[in-house]
Amino acid sequence: MSCGPVCTNLGLKPGQRLTVKGKVSPSAKSFVMNLGKDASNLGLHFNPRFDAHGDVNTIVCNSKKVDEWGAEHRETVFPFQKGGTAEIAFSVNQGDLTVHLPGHQFTFPNRLGLAVFDYFDTQGDFTIQSISWE
């Protein structure tokens, strides 16, 4: 899986939002966006799968604590298209994160209890065009 940019020392706190805009590869199988403390401690592993790991047009979310994965959460609303553009925003709340997708949003619990999200990376079939946070 190809790796995109890695951001550290983000300092995302409750009340703040990270917005990612980019382009999905025309031959996309899946892509990943990770938010957390570091690569071994992820508060949110966001993984839209076009056709990967037995899932088709499904968003799989998870968390990872000291390299141990938690229970997977699946979203069946799939607003992504191969070769299309996408805007995905992550809002940090007190006890969870809200994932904002085109025409849909859902929350994922902050299982690690992180007060600050310092780490963000992307992997797979997605090219970032811009990252912003407020």
Task: Indicate the domain borders of the chain.
Answer: 3-133
Give residue 44's pLDDT.
98
The pLDDT score that the predictor gives to residue 5 is 83
86-97 b/e with 16+ CB inside 10 Å = b? bebbbbbeeebb
**pLDDT score for 2:** 59
Phi, psi for residue 115 in degrees, rounded to 5: -85, -25
**Spatial distance between the Cα atoms of 70 and 64, rounded to a whole number of angstroms:** 6
What pLDDT sits at residue 3? 76
The CATH number given to 3-133 is 2.60.120.200
Q: Is the dihedral of CA 82, 41, 96, 134 positive or negative?
A: negative
Rounded-to-integer distance, Cα 10 and Cα 116, Å:
8
pLDDT tens digit string along 84-123?
999 999 999 999 999 999 999 999 999 999 999 999 999 9
Residues of the chain short of pLDDT 70, as ranges, are 1-2
pTM of this prediction?
0.96
Note the residue count of the chain: 134
